[in-house]
Amino acid sequence: MLVNYVILLTLGVIWGSSFLFLKLALESFEPFTLGAMRLLIGGSMIVGLVLVTRQPLPRRKRDWAWIAVVGTIASGIAFGFMNTGQALIESSEGGIIITTVPLFTLALAHWFTDDKLTWRKVLGVVIGFAGVMVMFGPTLVSGFAASILGQSFIVITAFCYACGGVIARRQLGGVAPLVSAGFSLFFAACLLVPATFIFESPFTLQPTRDAWIGVIGASVLSTGVAIALLFVLIARAGPNFASMNNYLAPVVSLSWGAIFLAEPVTGIKIGALVLLMLGIAIATSKRGAAASQTPLQARR
């Protein structure tokens, strides 16, 4: 039992550190370049784990097609928006806003799966998105376009993650989750690598040491190691227990932003975080909401 909590804590710390890693990497790397590197490195780790553990690969073309769709939405498009948005806002803001993934998932699941909304879930979603509006409030009042755009891009990222999770649940139920997670990263790389060379100049960059630390952290830890740990935790303790990382990660993100990047811990951030976590707690308090989450939904 203690081991499960250690894994959960480790997972929360790693995913809570994701936006710190991204902020460091974005000091030198452009958004698409960073996304492509993360997909290639993290994808190689997960696919390697699939091969070592001899996970069964899909035999049907439709399964591979849906894996490609999930990868395109939940990794390729999502990472593009995430990196572009994170370059415009503080790391802690991104770490808090991305917590909306379970809320988007509940709304989408109502329309596209058999997991229907209840009054409790609706209340949780409303409270959670009230937290998002609290986060947006000051930037909307000030009219600071860069912050509004950055925050909006992280919301779009959360929506993409939720879409990927719902599609995976609906279309890839017969595929080993680790297989769909690993190969979806590679399909996403097929999207971002060309975009990198079309819109950016990756070979002209001169990355700093901190930027390389950010790339390694985001690729190896937040993508490769975290996804592997998630599957271990689900196998040991179940998806409900594993989903508790949603409460740990934003707190870690807020803390690391203050400690390592001197980002202010404001009442706005704390208020938004409290509302988001309260909304998630209410919406997922019954069996089904948390259990329906997949590793693709939880990816940071």
Measured distance CA(226)–CA(264) in Å, rounded: 27
What distances in angstroms separate CA 162 from CA 20, 265, 276, 293, one per listed residue?
22, 28, 16, 9
Q: Over 50: is that where the pLDDT of 296 sits? A: no
pLDDT tens per residue, range 23-49: 999 999 999 999 999 999 999 999 999
pLDDT tens per residue, range 150-185: 999 999 999 999 999 999 989 998 999 999 999 999
With tokens 């390389």, the residue in question is: 212
pLDDT tens per residue, range 105-136: 999 999 998 888 999 999 999 999 999 999 99
Measured distance CA(255)–CA(257) in Å, rounded: 5
What distances in angstroms separate CA 288 from CA 51, 60, 84, 145, 283, one per listed residue?
31, 28, 33, 39, 10
Cβ atoms of 178 and 106 within 8 Å: the answer is no
Residues 6+ apart with CB under 8 A from 284: 102, 106, 124, 243, 290
pLDDT of residue 293: 46
With tokens 């630390």, the residue in question is: 213
Q: Tell me the pLDDT band of 291, cut-offs 50, 70 and 90.
A: very low
Measured distance CA(298)–CA(295) in Å, rounded: 5
Helix, strand, coil content of the chain in percent (nearest 5): 80, 0, 20
Identify the domain containing residue 215 by its residue range.
2-298
Residue type, position 6, single letter: V
pLDDT of residue 286: 62
Measured distance CA(17)–CA(252) in Å, rounded: 7
Give the mean model confidence (pLDDT) for residues 214-220.
Answer: 97
pLDDT tens per residue, range 52-66: 999 999 999 999 999
| DSSP secondary structure letter of residue 99 | G
Number of structural domains (the chain) is: 1
pLDDT tens per residue, range 191-206: 999 999 999 999 999 9
Q: Over 90: is that where the pLDDT of 289 sits? A: no
Burial string for 178-217 (b: 16+ CB within 10 Å, else e) reads bbbbbbbbbbbbebbbebbeeebeeeeeeeeeebeebbbb
With tokens 């998002």, the residue in question is: 132
